[in-house]
Every structure is written in structure tokens, then in C-alpha cells.
Chains A and B, each alone.
Chain A
């Protein structure tokens, strides 16, 4: 119930946006003055802005590189997102694919060939034209084993790489080794790179060393709305308007509106709030609930926006993996309880998710009963039950599984297993996340009412990952993850028993249980299914199984919170990353007064 309510405010907006889009399209095409028939710009709906101005945004960490081939951290990706463009793009508001550098794509009847046609007249930010050669070169880089690009693994299906060939200077055919549902979503985030700048370093084997932040501005180029201007180590990165950008507004004005985009490096969340309050930055994002309410309470010349739950899911899981030589001897003993489905179901039933939303996120989040968050509009399973917390049900389940309350050998009263051992385990969580530590403490209290004794152990983040993924030295863990995309395929390594993110028992050679085998089958089938209806049915079934066996006990999905000066136009935070800068080319300052005083 709450989930639906929390999401409500954003839905009508999206619908009206969609309507506006549909209504605008015919008009837009006729209204947009195509100055030159050799240029095919993408026309964006939205408020018509005024050109000029400098937008200042703070980043928690310094970006590490401008090179999309090696960037893995959030800050680098955020910056690269404003400097590069992809062939097909996922609209962060509708969560659907839309044409980008490719003006259209066609899928062959067998689903194995994707023919993409590039827009005419495209130029990199240094003025050099783009053609099919650049696209071929880019994908060669992504697929090259020695480059170790993180994108490479997306382009390998069934151990075979996607291949591509050029038809003419505007047309490229992508050949898939196997049918793959929504292959066009793969193109999102795969920046098309300039061959004229990268070919030489590539041949010299130095591709990973280029694109550092100290690169001179004239030696770096992209197809995004902004291009490199200046970098000051430890302080800021200044980007300027790309005059060759390929989008216009409905009146035919070339985007982006802003002259400059400045990223300030502000190392702590509180300092970011201070900078925003004092007017030194124009936009703040990735806000915690506490800072959000502080900013919302204090009047200022800014608007705070709660975009509803995003794609982050927080969950509790027990260690169900096979013991390694490093596993402490008491873990297998405890795993006897953890492997009991009813034990996990009882824990799930006893956890008060509403309380977590209220106490940890000040109500700015949604309780969760599955991996698909309410922010994922197309894929959430509306029929999933949302059972309220029930201690009675939990006790009943424990009883059925042979647990009983009684006095242990040391005299304490608590929950005992069938052999009379007290149920006691530790719950590790990341100390760098205050929210998750609070969650763990609330869970500790919830489970105490069942007679379980839980010790909360906050660990430094890397130590935690080491225990969970490498040494398996843990009983239970509270963790959070963000789906990289709204499509189920993005989370495939969580679902598959062979996946590295199948955290409760990762990278299995063979599925350990029949239900994991069944999930494997369903997920693989949906991977190759062609229609949305088929895929949704398979995916809903997989979610149902996950809920039934509770290897991951889902807790809560926090809202995406951000804010901007009132003067910033077209500010429409989305629940997909990057939350606020996804439409940076459309952001503008509403009046000159604000600009002059800044």
C-alpha cells in the first residue's frame, strides 16, 4: 500500500509528460527549422530555455578518468555521461529506449541482426565528423580483451562476442551470436569514441593511460553536450558547451543551453549541503533523508524534489555457501538453521519493514518484498503480496521447523534449535553506511522478540566485501545494491546460481537447490524471449520463487532525493542514474538576475 502511495506523485507527471510528448511530436517535426538537409538533429520536448549561464554541481569524490573504457566509479561515470553519447539511449523518465546517435534501428525477423542508421551531420566536440568507422573502432576497443573495458562483458553472449560490420558510412549491422531480449538496451552507456584521437594510443598499447583528467582540452573529444575545458586537481572540473551537439529544443535552438558546467569536489555529504545552502552550488543530488528534511524545512531559493523510490534495494541474507578452508568451524553448525526455508521465512515475517522506512529514512522510502523496486515501472509485479509484519506467523513457522523457546545451558531464555542449542548469530553490515547500520540494529531488535540473539557487527566496507565474496567468514549480512538498469537482464548475475552476485551462495558450478535450478531456467528463458509479455510472465514467476524461499530478505528501497535552485529550469530528477544530470542539455537558468549576482 505504502509503496503505491509513495510512488503516486511522480506517476501523473510521467503520464502527462508522455502525453505532451505524443502531442508535440508532429508539431515539432514541422516547427523545427532544418537549416541544412545534411543535418538531422534530435528534437527534444520540454520547456524552451534561455542560453547561457554556468551550472555548478558538487561531486562527493573526484572523478578518476574521462576515459569510458576504464571508468568504473560513480563520479567518473557521472562526468563522462555529460561528455559522451551512445547510439541508443534509455530515457531516464520513461525508462524506455529512444534513438540517440542512431536515428533508427531495425531488427531482423530472427532477432539476430540489428541494423542501425546514424544521423547525418554528426560531429565530435572538436569538430571532426563521425561516421561508421568510429563506431566500428569503438566496439573493437570495447571487445578487445587487453583493454579490460567493463563494457566488454555486456557484449559477450554465450561466450561469443557481438560482431559488427559497416554497410555504408551511416549504416552498421550488429550481428548477435544468439537472440537476446531487448538487445538495444545494451547500447545505452556505450559511448562512441573518436577514432582520430584514439587510434594511435591504441596501436601503441596505451589506451588505458589516456583520458586522464590532466589531458589537454584539445586532445579529448566526445559526442556529449559538454566538452573539457579545465581541471584543477582536488578542486574542480570545468566543462564547456559543445557547439557541435546534435540535439535541439522544439523551437530549433541548439542545445545545451548552459555555457559551462562545473563539477566541484566536495568530500563529505554535510559539506555538500553547506555549499548548496550558501549558494555555491546549484544542484544537489544523492541526498540522505536527514539532510533532505533539513533542507526542506529551511526556506531558501531552492526546490527539493523527492522522485520516489529508485532502483536501490537493501536486503538481508544468510551465508548459504559451501564452507571454504577459511570458514570458521561454527558457521556450518549455524548453516543448518540458515538452510531451513521456514527459518528464513520466519525472519522475514518478523522484520518490521515499515519501521525501517520510518526510522531510517524518515518515511522517504518504500518497504520491499522483492528485488524489483516500486521505482521500476514496467517490471514490478503488481500481484506480489505485501504481508505485514507478523510475529505470530514467525513463531508458528519456527515451531514447525523444530525450534522452541527454552532455557539454554547457560540459563538464558531464548530460541533453541531441535538439539537444544541457542539460536545466536552475527549480522555484518557496512560501517560507512549509517542507514544500513541502523537497519541492522532494528532487525536485531525485531529478531530478539523471537528469542534469537543477533550481534550487529559494522565492518569497514572493503573488509565486508572481502568476507562476503572471498573468505565467507560471516553468518548473515545486510547489504544494498542498485540495479544498473530497469531491465531484469541488468541483475542477471544476482539471479543465476553461477553469478558472482548470487551473494548467499555465489558462483556455483551446479545449482545447489531445485528452486535455484528453476530460477536459472526461467531467467535464461526470459533472456532469449522476444516479447515483453512472455518475459514479464517468466520474470514474475522467478520473483515468486525468490519470495517463497527467501534467500534474500528484502527490506527497503530509499527515495531518490535531490534539490536545485529555483532558477534552474527543466529540473526533473529521475529514479535511474544519473538522477539529475540525465537531461543536462536541457537545464537552463530562468533569469539573468540570478546569474549576475552569482
Chain B
């Protein structure tokens, strides 16, 4: 229990640290939201000064940070200059769309990577394994952007997939089955792009972790006892190889919010990606900070989850913390 409390404590500290740094860095970035208005010949400089004062941009940093924390406790997460409304509702509705995409992609990617990695580890050094290694290496060096654009080209040429967005315009009028089909069709390309970008790393890790374990004496002994192959691999070898994979899983939970930003922009998925990109370029300060903090929350949460799983999976950690 002490172990868990200590991890939780770390997480809170990390969040505070990140929010302070996010504040400091946004101040370092040159320019501010109201600069664009300076180029509008119809707006007087006095109006811009008044707006800056209204949004407290002229107040010292600690004061603004304190106000932001207060607003966070109210569930607002600060105020968006552009939308003239609290940040939290704006972020949450888009985070939901992002999670729909990334959670699906993550489960798919792990679902494929585990059997594929194990299969490859079994044939370690042989031709099928080498071919797979080449394939994953090729995928690994392909930039996400190229991947996404390539898929879009396929979508346009085939005419089967929508070229962006989350649902069709007629979505509301469709039957339940029609809605599901429409959503899946729209999710298809971005999910494939995400899976392809996640997959090679996962496969390689699974393969390496398994290959190390497969030669262990206890597995030879298991084979000698006549335990079937499947059981050997999944019941005996996989838990032994799980430690690095659990850490990796925790990390991939951490990237759920931020991992798909680029794909979302290219495929015009209405998630956090296009929203945060616009906010960064427009210097919509609190939206950017909110996005950073939310992503950190996921990272911290993912790591915490991984710690929990490790605690459960590896008896050594339990004994260590007791000692």
C-alpha cells in the first residue's frame, strides 16, 4: 500500500510541476492572442489594451497561476480567449472523440502485436522472423504523415471511404445499425493509420521480450513435461516476459490523448488535434495549458496503471516494498 501511495504522491507532484512549466513556457512564447487584432485596421490599440487587461494578460504570472488553479477547482480550467467560454467543456467534448479513436486503435494494435510478436519470437532468426523484422522496420521509418496521406489517397481513389470527419451529415436520420456503420466507416482510415504507426514498436518489443524468455530452462522443462505449445507460450512464457511490456502498455495509455494529434489534423477528425493546433497558433493560452495538463494526466495515469499491473504481475516488487 505504501508503494501505491508513494506513486500517487509522485503523480500529483508531476502534475503540479507540468502545469507550472506549461505556464512559464506559454509566457516565453513570443506574441499573444490579441496580436492578430493589431493587424485589423478597424480595431483601435486602446481596445486591445482593454481586452488584455480584461483577460488579465497584464497581471504577474503567480497571480494568473493562482487564478487558474482556482478556476481548475471550479471545473473550468481557465478561460478561452477565442471562444469566450471556459476551457473544460471545450476540451472534454473533443477529448471524447480523440479517445474513441485512440482506445480502439490501442486495443487493435496490442491485439495484433501480441500474437504476431510471439509468433515471430518462436521463429527467432529464421526467414519469417527476418521478413517481419524488415516489414516492421520499414513501417517504423515511414513518417506518420506519409502514412496518413497515403491512406487518404486510397480513400479518394477507391471512393469507398469518407475523406474525413467523424460522421456523415445525415447521421441523425440513420437507423441504429446505419449509425454504427457510418461511424465505423469514418473511423476506418484514422484507426488503420494509428494502428500502423503503433504496431511496429509493439511487435518488436513483444518479440524481444519473448525471445529472451523462450530459451529459459523452465520452458524446456515444461516442454519435457508435454505441456502443449499454446499453453506454454501464453500461460508460462508471456507472464515471464510481461514486465517490459506492462511498462510499454502504461506508456501507450499515456499517449492516448496526444498520440493521434497529427492524424486527426490530416484526416480532419474532430478531436483534440485540430483544436489544440489552432489554439497554439492563436496563443489561446489556457486552452493550450489545459491540453498539456490533460495529456499529462493521462501519462501519469498510464504510468500509475502500469505500476499497479506490475505490482500485481511481479511478486518481486511486492517483496521489495515490504522489505
Contact = CB atoms under 8 A, between A and B. Distances in A.
B140 interface: no
A233 B37 contact: no
Given A153-B47, A235-B166, A262-B169, A465 B278 contact: no
Contact of B270 (A56, A150, A265, A469): A265
Identify the 6 closest CB pairs spanning chains A and B, nearest first. Answer: A462-B31, A234-B270, A267-B274, A466-B31, A153-B44, A463-B30
Interface stretch (B13-21, B80-88, B195-203, B245-253): B80-88
A298 to B, nearest CB: 11
A151 B40 CA distance: 11
B54 to A, nearest CB: 7
A274 B41 contact: no
Interface stretch (A113-121, A314-322, A447-455, A492-500): A492-500
29 contacts: A64-B84, A72-B40, A73-B82, A148-B47, A212-B83, A212-B85, A214-B85, A235-B167, A264-B165, A265-B270, A266-B268, A267-B274, A267-B277, A271-B266, A278-B159, A278-B162, A461-B31, A462-B32, A462-B283, A463-B29, A465-B39, A467-B30, A469-B38, A470-B31, A471-B30, A490-B41, A494-B41, A501-B38, A507-B45
Contacts, number: 153
B265 interface: yes
Interface residues of A, number: 64
B85 A209 contact: yes
Interface string A479-513: 00101100000111110000111000001000000
A278 B156 contact: yes
Given A233-B270, A234-B94, A274-B152, A465 B159 contact: no
Contacts of B274: 234, 265, 267
A268 interface: yes
Interface string B247-281: 00000000000000000011110110111011001
Interface string B204-226: 00000000000000000000000
B278 A271 contact: no
A143 B267 CA distance: 43
Given A72-B40, A271-B163, A152 B93 contact: no
A145 B51 CA distance: 11
A267 B38 CA distance: 24
Given A56-B169, A462-B29, A268 B265 contact: yes
A461 to B, nearest CB: 7
A280 B163 CA distance: 9
A461 B93 contact: no
B90 interface: yes
A465 B31 CA distance: 7
A156 B281 CA distance: 32
Is chain A's interface secondary structure helix, strand, loop, or mixed overall?
Answer: mixed
A159 to B, nearest CB: 11
A82 interface: no
A589 B264 CA distance: 32
Given A275-B163, A461-B281, 18 more contacts: A72-B37, A150-B40, A153-B47, A156-B44, A232-B270, A267-B265, A267-B273, A271-B267, A274-B152, A280-B165, A461-B31, A462-B32, A462-B282, A465-B38, A466-B30, A483-B41, A484-B41, A490-B41
B97 interface: yes
Interface of B: 29-32, 35-45, 47, 50-51, 54, 82-85, 89-90, 93-94, 97, 152, 156, 159, 162-167, 169, 265-268, 270-271, 273-275, 277-278, 281-283
Contacts of B271: 234
A464 to B, nearest CB: 8
Interface of A: 54, 56, 61-62, 64-65, 67, 70, 72-73, 145, 148, 150-154, 156, 208-209, 212-214, 232-236, 262, 264-268, 271, 274-275, 277-278, 280, 432, 460-467, 469-471, 481, 483-484, 490-494, 499-501, 507
Contact of B35 (A212, A432, A465): A465
B93 A233 contact: yes
The residue among B42, B50, B278 with the most chain A CB atoms within 10 A of its own CB is: B42
A148 B51 contact: yes
Contacts of B35: 462, 465-466, 469-470
A151 B43 CA distance: 7
Contact of A234 (B37, B43, B97, B156): B97
A492 B31 contact: no
A480 to B, nearest CB: 10
B58 to A, nearest CB: 13
